[in-house]
Homo-oligomer: A and B are copies of this chain.
């Protein structure tokens, strides 16, 4: 509290009491190793000197443990909190951390970060990498660190690194099956790619072929269902999974003539924006246009959004669990299930 006085250290306390450093250390970490009376004297002297327990950094250095796990985010941290699905993931990780008495270090690694210093300076026992583009410099930086690593969602298929994700392809196939079953043949596909910006008018085939992240998986799931059927899919890149981005793209997509009868979204965040856009345009859902999402965030239920549920908080917990029990043989892959949740935002196509 008093910055003027020289920093109190364990050695200073030891000197004041007239015991060795070992004994002071024991007073804090192994009370059974010294008499209660001496311990009291040490604690009193410590309080007197303004010493309040071992320095966490020095302790970390010596013990080789930081009691913290690091989370490296694909998007900029401040934008991460705009996507409710990312927030749910954070929640899962936070719960796992607090259950084990550790802290959670959020490491900024957005695309605008020009260097990887933050990763290199992070004092953690392990890293969870969430939704990073392949060949990202931060991923490379994390890999050079000796701590255990778990990748969530993206990139898939990194050799030697444990992975947690869901069956995105199957999940998106399910919801595509549902939409096609309702008769929709003109579909706007709102996406947010973490792997880069697309050309002006990407088509779904090239997305499915070229995107190696979550988006590619879902696009392939869509293709699995469409097959050779005569379905027109227009792709709109929203660049970020946020409601306002989805609203903007949906407004544009719904202005097309002929208008798509369904708007399928990469995420609930985008879909919630799309619902807003439809309302703004005076379109009824699902009579005039059907809307679907992905994730099943809490707001989706309130909005009556048809979507695919994935156990997002559990992803965070599983990732931390993998960190704690390092692999003994080979790469571990945890693939969690998805479920189609049909609500009121989808209905039969009505083309007139």
Q: In the complex the two chains form, what is the Cα distance from A95 to B7 in whole Å?
A: 32
Query: Restricting to A163-216, which residues have a CB under 8 Å from any CB of B?
Result: none
Are B97 and A108 in contact, CB atoms less than 8 angstroms apart?
yes
A57-B57, A60-B57 known; A94 vs B82 contact (CB < 8 Å): no
Is B56 a contact partner of A120 (Cβ separation < 8 A)?
yes
When the two chains form the complex, which single residue of B60, B68, B77, B146 contacts A105, counting CB atoms closer than 8 Å?
Answer: B68
**Number of copies of this chain in the oligomer?**
2
- Give residues 35-75 of A contacting B (CB, 8 Å): 52-53, 55-61, 66-68, 70
Q: Mark A114-149, 1 if CB is under 8 A from B, else 0.
A: 000110111100000000000000000001111000
Assuming A103-B122, A104-B105, A143-B1, is B77 touching A66 (CB within 8 A)? no
Q: Does A110 contact B (CB under 8 A)?
A: yes
Please name all residues of chain B whose beta carbon is closer than 8 Å to the beta carbon of A88 when the two chains form the complex: 81
Quote the shortest CB–CB distance from A131 to chain B (angstroms): 16
Contact of A122 among B56, B90, B243 (CB under 8 A): B56
- Asked whether, in the complex, the Cβ of A102 is within 8 Å of the Cβ of B118, the reply is yes
How distant is A192 from chain B, measured CB to nearest CB, in Å? 17
- Taking a contact as CB atoms under 8 Å apart, the answer to whether A146 and B7 are in contact is yes
Q: Is A302 an interface residue (CB 8 A)?
A: yes
- CB <8 Å contact, B123 and A98: no
Out of B52, B82, B104, which one reaches A106, CB within 8 Å? B104
Given A61-B61, A123-B56, A146-B3: A106 and B94 within 8 A (CB)?
yes
- A81 is contacted by which of B94, B97, B107, B113 (Cβ under 8 Å)? B94
- Contact partners of A144 in chain B: CB under 8 A: 1, 52-53
Other A-B contacts than A81-B91, A94-B106, 9 sampled, CB-CB below 8 A, are A1-B143, A1-B146, A68-B105, A76-B98, A77-B95, A77-B104, A78-B98, A104-B106, A299-B299
Would you give 26 A-B contacts (Cβ < 8 Å), ordered by A?
A: A1-B144, A1-B160, A7-B146, A52-B120, A52-B144, A56-B121, A56-B123, A57-B60, A57-B66, A57-B123, A61-B61, A68-B121, A70-B103, A77-B98, A78-B92, A81-B91, A81-B94, A82-B91, A98-B108, A98-B110, A98-B113, A103-B118, A104-B108, A106-B106, A243-B298, A272-B302
